[in-house]
Structure 1
Amino acid sequence: MQTTQPDPAQLQLLEAALPNVAFDGWSQASFQAAVATTGMDPDRARALCPRGATDLAVLYHREGDRAMQRAMTAEDMTGLRYSDKVARAIRLRLDVIDDKEAVRRGTTLFALPHLAATGAGLIWGTADAIWTALGDTSDDVNWYTKRATLSGVWAAVVLYWLGDTSENHAATDDFIDRRIAEVMQIEKVKAQVNGNAVLRPLTAPLNRLLGMIRAPQRTPRTDVPGMWRPDDAA
């Protein structure tokens, strides 16, 4: 999940670029137009966005994640099942998108081989933002499996949503429910396998191994050799 707030000048460039993205995509032309519109010094603009419009596309996606988290904070999900909360979060993430064509162009951009890793990272970031906003406390292998599974669901939902022409995206709502139901079915099967006494001799060693995996720490450690501590400078 991205917690660092962007430079206001980056947001200024993003706002200026969006009207051109529908025509030129997240391209050099869109970036240059944004620089001209804002009157920003080109060298400063390039320092803020070394990859030009690609960095603006990344920023656009992450701003969507932040907007979703704000919407989730204001949403009353009391009484909802966990699966329903996840489905609601996905819908909120779609609802905060104010420019469908910008997402379409971004999907095309991050499908390019040299940007595929960046695109995958953004999808993972959205999944992480959802689980974090829902209060996920897992600190073992489940931290990874939850985000990996939701990343697959989110990627599929976006592609479906881009082609959905139904009223109020009703077809996408149904698609989300089907994908979540499939995930829950997988979780049910996993629980049955782990609880099966016959299979336990096979699953127990794997579960012990997986139990050694820990989620990444949200804050840097300062209690290991070579780590700088703020009070060291005093």
Structure 2
Amino acid sequence: MSQTAPDPILDPDPTLDEVRAALAPVIPHHAAFDGWSDEALAAAAAEVGVPASVARLAFADGPAGMIDAWFAAIDRRMAATLPPERLAAMKIRARITALVMARLDTAAPDREALRRAIAILALPSNAARGLRLGWRAADAMWHLAGDTATDIAHYTKRATLGGVYAATMLVFLDDESEDYADTRAFLDRRISGIMRFEKLKGQLRPDPDRIFSPARLLGRLRYRVT
């Protein structure tokens, strides 16, 4: 598994955001047994040294809020595991593969909590939030990978990666192979398919020099030597 940076340490008089950040990576340890519940939150609060009442106030948005905060903690650990200088030495395909696996490696000790989290986010009342969290994960990965697209590609890249990540996560949840070899193989196949599609799309993209352009024609007529 990847080595990760320590999570935030609470100040003597923490803000609610700081309490959320400190509790976020601890709650899933207990959610695996107690679900994403007040019991899991209270156990995490006791472990971190936060009054249960403060913890409940920090997570007034309930289980979905706890999951949201955990996924944000995974974002932070992913960035710490794969800093820009390390990613810069990789090709884009390797960057995306490494980023997806860094997220899964971080969640690996809490797979049962992840399974329960996905079930909660799949509820109709949480569907919109689940979509936002999926988008946020894909956006974070593309940002770290160095993507600077601002046109429609910005959105298609994130939508595509979000689908790949979601599918890979489902394989990961039931993967009993050594070092998650089956998950890695599945991810590699999915990314290979995307790369082939992008290559084909590039080959089929019309050549602007071969497309009739009235403006270009008028320009050529204007400067034609007679």
Q: Do the structures match in fold with TM over 0.5?
A: yes
1:134 CA displacement: 1.4
> Do 1:31 and 1:53's aligned partners in 2 also have CA atoms closer than 8 Å?
no
What is the alpha-carbon distance in structure 2 between the residues aligned to residue 156 and residue 124 of structure 1?
Answer: 14
Contact 2:81 2:102 in 1 (8 A): yes
- How many pairs were matched up? 196
Aligned in 2, Cα 1:76/1:115: closer, same or farther, shift over 3 Å?
same
Identity of aligned residues (%): 36
**In the alignment, what sits opposite 2:151?**
140
Give me the CA root mean square deviation.
Answer: 2.7
Q: Which one has a bigger Cα radius of gyration?
A: 2
Name the SS of the counterpart of 1:195 in structure 2. Answer: coil
Native 8 Å contact 2:138 2:158 kept in 1? yes
- 1:170 matched to 2:193? The reply is no
Shift of 1:32: 4.5
Whether the 8 Å contact between 2:28 and 2:113 is mirrored in structure 1 is yes
- For residues 94 and 193 of structure 1, do their structure 2 counterparts lie closer, same or farther at Cα, with a shift above 3 Å needed? same
- Aligned counterparts, 1:172-191, within 5 A: 172-191=183-202
1:8 paired residue number:
18
Unaligned 5+ runs, structure 2: 1-7, 9-15, 214-226
Which residue does the alignment assign to 1:224?
none
> Would you say the 8 A contact 1:157–1:176 is kept in 2?
yes
Structure with greater helix share of residues: 2
Q: 2:51 aligns with which of 36, 40, 44?
A: 40
The gaps in structure 1 that reach 5 residues or longer are 205-234
Matched residues in 2 for 1:101 and 1:147: separation? Answer: 26
Query: Is 1:103 matched up with 2:108?
Result: no
Q: Does the C-alpha gap of structure 1 residues 151 and 15 become closer, same or farther in structure 2, counting only changes over 3 Å?
A: closer
Alignment match of 1:31 (pick from 41, 60, 72): 41
Query: Which residue is 1:161 aligned to?
Result: 172
String of CA shifts for 1:16-69, please: whole Å, max 9, x gaps: 533431122112432354456645252x43432122232111101110011101
Q: TM-score, normalised by structure 1?
A: 0.73
Provide, for residues 134-175 of structure 1, a one-character-per-residue CA deviation record: whole Å limited to 9, x for no partner: 111111111111101100000001001001110110111111
Q: Does 1:128 align with 2:123?
A: no
Deviations 1:63-90 (A, max 9, x none): 0011101111076345532112211211
Q: 1:200 to 1:91 in 2, by over 3 A?
A: farther
TM-score (norm 2): 0.76
